[in-house]
């Protein structure tokens, strides 16, 4: 037989099972000896990493022209202009085309994102911890169950519904009842001047923060509830036996016991607040290119900016606007990443002080 002679392979011939049956048999054997599980596990472990890398690479590639055009000043600029779309010729800067007059800066978006999330946490943390303690220690079993159920429903609520509630109900309440009352009654002190001034229309920083707090509360409260449940009964009974009140027990024993966990849950909530898009887009007032002048002024966040300007960006024939949005997406990812790293460091610090129960008594 010469080397060039065709090699005849039996294809499901006599004496051999047809291909599908062989495949099934191989699969069965794989499942039995654990091969299949090992492979699924390996693929499952790699996919999230690949997805993250893919997103990063795409954002960097798409955002590169914008970075070449604006450089680092993108992060310190307040500008927001799509430029003259009807100009006859695009401008050329550092080798990339852009519409004449187009300029973008991320600083107001970063400030807006951090400010709304901060407001959300200031409201959500005390409320959530209080709710968790009440559910575990105070409320009758049935009521506690009902409140817990409400929390879980609220956590699973699509954010667009909360945005709708914010735009239709909460916004007007803020505009007509809360904001004018607060603005009238704040003392004339430098820092508090941020609470005074024009109370606006209900769209803006405060409403966005309140809407975000509604989304963050169930996350922090549900996690804290589960943590508080795991605090052993003995230290708490001991505190009571020492004559501590319920409040003192909570403050001196229960909360220190779960401190690291609460920090973790707050970071989970913060992650949600930083990236929340549609609800904020519905109530922020979509004011680009500036910082809010007070607590009630309209503003914009990074995530809301992307969703509100994507369609406009797609009409920019030079592609500059779209590139800017990719860059903003990257900024948002970096903010979230930094928060997570910061949180991990914080959790490590908090949890390294083992069992701080009774500190300061």
Residues that bind another protein in the complex, under the rule CB under 8 A: 79-88, 90, 99-101, 103, 172, 197-198, 200-204, 285-290, 293, 296-298, 308-309, 311-312, 314-315, 317-318
Pairing of strands 80-81, 103-104: antiparallel
3-class SS of residue 325:
helix
Q: Please, which residue, 195 or 248, has the CB nearer to another protein?
A: 195
Q: Please, which residue, 29 or 317, has the CB nearer to another protein?
A: 317
H or E stretch at 97: strand 96-98
Shortest Å distance, C-beta 111 to another protein: 14
Q: Please, which residue, 102 or 136, has the CB nearer to another protein?
A: 102
Strand partners, 97: 92
Cβ contacts of 219 within 8 Å, gap of 6 or more: 128, 155, 265, 268, 269, 272
DSSP 52-76: HHHHHHHHHHHHHHHHHHHGGGGGT
Shortest Å distance, C-beta 195 to another protein: 15
Q: Please, which residue, 46 or 312, has the CB nearer to another protein?
A: 312
Shortest Å distance, C-beta 309 to another protein: 7
Shortest Å distance, C-beta 289 to another protein: 6
Sign of the CA dihedral with 349 first, then 344, 269, and 105 last: positive
Distance set, CA 217 to CA 124, 214, 267, 273, 307 (Å): 5, 6, 12, 11, 24
Shortest Å distance, C-beta 5 to another protein: 49
Q: Please, which residue, 202 or 271, has the CB nearer to another protein?
A: 202
Tokens 């319920």 sit on residue: 246
Shortest Å distance, C-beta 33 to another protein: 48
Q: Please, which residue, 213 or 294, has the CB nearer to another protein?
A: 294
Quick one: how far is CA 92 from the chain centroid?
A: 36
């Amino acid at each position: 037989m010469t080397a060039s002679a065709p090699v005849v392979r039996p294809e499901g011939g006599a004496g051999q099972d047809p291909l599908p049956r062989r495949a099934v048999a191989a699969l069965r054997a794989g499942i039995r000896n654990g091969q299949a599980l090992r492979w699924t596990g390996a693929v499952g472990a790699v996919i999230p990493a690949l997805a993250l890398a893919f997103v990063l690479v795409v954002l960097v590639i798409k955002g590169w022209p914008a970075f070449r055009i604006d450089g680092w000043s993108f992060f310190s600029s307040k500008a927001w202009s799509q430029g003259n779309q009807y100009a006859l010729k695009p401008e050329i800067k550092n080798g990339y085309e852009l519409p004449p007059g187009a300029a973008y800066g991320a600083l107001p978006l970063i400030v807006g994102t951090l400010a709304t999330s901060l407001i959300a946490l200031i409201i959500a943390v005390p409320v959530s911890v209080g709710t968790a303690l009440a559910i575990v220690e105070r409320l009758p079993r049935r009521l506690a169950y009902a409140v817990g159920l409400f929390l879980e429903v609220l956590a699973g609520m699509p954010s667009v519904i909360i945005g709708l509630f914010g735009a239709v109900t909460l916004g007007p309440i803020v505009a007509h009842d809360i904001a004018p009352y607060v603005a009238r009654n704040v003392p004339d002190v430098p820092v508090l001047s941020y609470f005074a001034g024009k109370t606006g229309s209900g769209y803006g920083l405060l409403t966005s923060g309140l809407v975000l707090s509604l989304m963050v509360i169930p996350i922090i409260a549900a996690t804290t509830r589960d943590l508080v449940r795991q605090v052993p009964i003995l230290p708490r009974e001991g505190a009571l036996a020492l004559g501590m009140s319920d409040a003192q027990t909570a403050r001196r024993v229960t909360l220190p016991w779960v401190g690291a966990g609460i920090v973790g849950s707050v970071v989970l909530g913060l992650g949600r607040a930083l990236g929340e898009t549609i609800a904020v887009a519905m109530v922020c007032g979509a004011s680009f290119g500036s910082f809010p002048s007070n607590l009630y002024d309209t503003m914009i966040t990074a995530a809301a900016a992307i969703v509100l300007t994507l369609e406009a960006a797609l009409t920019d024939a030079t592609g500059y606007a779209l590139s800017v949005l990719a860059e903003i997406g990257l900024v948002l990812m970096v903010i979230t990443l930094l928060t997570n790293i910061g949180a991990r460091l914080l959790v490590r610090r908090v949890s390294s002080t083992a069992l701080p129960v009774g500190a300061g008594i």
